[in-house]
Structure 1
Amino acid sequence: MVGKANDSDKELMVPVQERLRQVIDALGVSVYQVAKDLGENSSKFYNILNGRAKPSYDTILRLLEQYPQVRADYLLRGQLPVLSEEEDNARVIEMPVRYRELPFVPTRFYASFIETYTEGLSLEQLETYRVAEHLVEGHKNAVIIEISGNSMSPQLISGAKVLAVHIDPTNWEYQSGGIYAVIYRDYFVVKRIKDNELLTKQRLTLHSDNPNGGSVTVPRKDILGIWKVVRVIDSPVE
């Protein structure tokens, strides 16, 4: 005889993407805001909510740290309630957040950044931008770059600040699929690398995500520096 499923069993049947959706609804925030607070790409969360991907353990931990009112028992095991209930004798414990000052390349500094880079740039010459330590995640030689224009929208819009890591010239040939900041001749652009032909044809093709942004092919001899964009730190709302 098959027994009737109890409420606890029903809770455990809720898939993780649905639990995440209910957590976001309970918090009363948008998917974009959650992604921004966690330093993640919003498209990653939409893929999770649509069942095309599953959240990593690291993402779940950061969500629980960012929103302490979310119950880990619900997010991990589906045990209600979704959020912690306030108690009269409860007290709020604020966890200290560590910050780091990283070199910052604002839009208005693009031209002088190119010029000083060709002359042997010292990162101490740059402005700084304050970033939570956990968003840096041990990346070395990282800088914060402000996005200019909408050639990389919708993922990166004008005014967004991104964390980018310097790529050693010996590794330029192996970069593909991601978004990169590239200095070539007297240009400083943020584009996606799809066609890396540095090994075969000594050239690199940089693409815009926005169909109206076009693409550009750059000879290796014109490339002065490459940084890989690894995280959105801050982004205005369109």
Structure 2
Amino acid sequence: MSDPATPNKATRLERLRRESGMSLYEVGAIVGKSHTTIARYESDPRAGIKQPTLQALARVYKTTPEFIETGQSPESNIAIPDTNYVELPFFTHTAYGTFAANCLDDLPEDYTTMWVLRREGRDYRNARVLEVRGNSMAPRYPHGCCVAVRPVQDGDWQYATGVHAISLRNQMFIIKRITSNQNGILQLSSDSNGEVMTIELGDINCMWKVGEKVYEPGED
């Protein structure tokens, strides 16, 4: 029997996602589509969804392609993602200021979260998810992707190398590659164009090691 509260495919997809507790980013990452495409599926009943994507969405929402297409039972049996997923605090690029301002304190009360697939050997304690803004760290970390970041204790800043998200005392927030770290001076570079900047350890407020991508915008 169909549900009059969800009269078309778009409204069913929106309801299924909301009941799952997952964001547009999370669903897109799992099925290999951008969050804007998932949003279009939820707003346009006429949007064409290819069968592989439809099947992937059905698996995510624990229902059938037939229910998504027609609204006919069996109904979805929604639950939070299984133990293969972990829920992490999530900050879009518009929330960088909030993220940086609270780096030495507890999380703000109104933070959002993202479910990400656990990867073997990764430590998710105190990890966060950040949305990357701009292409300065492309191609590895392109604009719009989301990355897991893990805090670096201040006693270890002098040893840090590789890509890090850094909150500076002058209220700047940057994601750069540490190419040199000697005698309290850090040389930072952008992967895309090799642009270099220099900071001192004393300029740093907080630092996070940038790790694996947990979401990357798909090609539609």
| SS of 1:193 mapped into structure 2 | strand
Q: Which amino acid aligns with 1:230?
A: G
- Return the offset for 1:123: 2.4
Q: Equivalents in 1 of 2:107, 2:116: separation in Å?
A: 16
Aligned residue number for residue 152 of structure 2: 167
Corresponding residue number in structure 2 for 1:183: 167
- Does residue 223 in structure 1 map to residue 207 in structure 2? no
**Residue in 2 that maps onto 1:73:** none
Structure 1 counterpart SS, 2:166: strand
Aligned match for 1:214, one of 192, 195, 213: 195
Q: Which one has the largest radius of gyration?
A: 1
**Aligned residue pair count:** 139
How far, CA to CA, are the matches of 1:144 and 1:104 in structure 2?
Answer: 5
CA contact (8 A) 2:102 2:108 kept: no
For residue 92 of structure 2, the aligned residue among 82, 106, 119 is 106
C-alpha displacement of 1:195: 0.7
Does the C-alpha gap of structure 1 residues 170 and 229 become closer, same or farther in structure 2, counting only changes over 3 Å? same
Structure-1 separation of matches of 2:134 and 2:155: 30
Q: Read off the aligned partner of 1:231 and give its amino acid letter.
A: E
1:235 aligns with 2:220: no
- Listed as ranges, the gaps of 5+ residues in structure 1 are 1-35, 38-95
Report whether the alignment pairs 1:195 with 2:180.
Answer: yes
- Using the size of structure 2 for normalisation, the TM-score is 0.57
SS in structure 2 opposite 1:145? strand
Q: Quick one: higher RCO (CA 8 Å, sep 6+), 1 or 2?
A: 2
The reply to whether residue 150 of structure 1 matches residue 135 of structure 2 is yes
* Normalised TM-score (structure 1): 0.53
Q: Contact 1:97 / 1:132 at 8 angstroms: preserved in 2? A: no
What's the offset of the Cα at 1:234?
Answer: 0.7
Contact residue 100 and residue 206 of structure 2 kept, 8 A: no
Q: Which has the higher helix share?
A: 1
Per-residue deviation, 1:136: 7.7
CA pair 219-138 structure 1, distance change in 2 beyond 3 A: closer
Counterpart amino acid of residue 127 in structure 1: T
Question: Structure 2 stretches of 5 or more lacking a match?
Answer: 1-28, 31-81
SS in 2 for 1:108: helix
Secondary structure in structure 1 of the residue aligned to 2:150 = strand
Query: Which residue type is aligned with residue 107 of structure 1?
Result: H
Calculate percent identity across the aligned residue pairs.
30
1:204–1:219 CA contact under 8 A, matched in 2: yes
Measured at CA, do residues 236 and 203 of structure 1 come closer, stay the same or move farther in structure 2, by a change above 3 Å? same
- The 8 Å contact of residues 103 and 124 in structure 1, kept in 2 or not, is answered as no
The one-letter code matched in structure 2 to 1:173 is Q
Whole-angstrom distance in 2 between the partners of 1:130 and 1:115: 23
What does 1:1-238 align with in structure 2 at a 5 Å threshold?
98-117=84-103, 120-123=104-107, 125=109, 126-134=111-119, 137-176=122-161, 178-184=162-168, 185-197=170-182, 200=183, 202-211=184-193, 214-237=195-218
- Counterparts of 1:109 and 1:172, CA distance in 2: 24
